[in-house]
């Protein structure tokens, strides 16, 4: 059996809606980033209030997938 060394943590994505529960998660993410030397990326995820713009004409499942993909691209570009 061979053993492999896990990849080091380089980035931690912390999505937040600024709720009390998210505050506790931030403290954990902050400690983990400090312990590993990772960059802590913060992404504000507002409560879903519907979609505006070009996604209005897309069915629900495709709309959710596009939103997720768009959020992921934004987060990685930080």
The verdict on residue 35 lying in a domain is yes
* Rg of the chain over all Cα atoms, to the nearest angstrom: 16
Domain that holds residue 19: 11-46+58-77
The verdict on residue 28 lying in a domain is yes
The verdict on residue 67 lying in a domain is yes
The verdict on residue 41 lying in a domain is yes
The verdict on residue 71 lying in a domain is yes
* pLDDT tens-digit map of 22-75: 989 999 999 999 999 999 999 998 877 666 555 555 555 555 555 555 555 555
The verdict on residue 62 lying in a domain is yes
Phi and psi at 38, nearest 5°, equal -80, 155
Q: Please count the structural domains in the chain.
A: 1
The verdict on residue 52 lying in a domain is no
The verdict on residue 53 lying in a domain is no
Please state the pTM of the whole predicted model: 0.55
């Amino acid at each position: 059996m061979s053993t492999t060394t896990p990849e080091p943590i380089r980035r931690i994505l912390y999505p937040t809606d600024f709720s009390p529960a998210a505050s506790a998660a931030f403290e954990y993410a902050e400690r983990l980033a400090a312990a590993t030397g990772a960059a802590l990326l913060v992404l504000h995820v507002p409560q879903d209030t519907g979609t505006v713009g070009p996604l209005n004409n897309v069915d629900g499942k495709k709309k959710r997938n596009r939103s997720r993909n768009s959020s992921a691209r934004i987060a990685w570009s930080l």
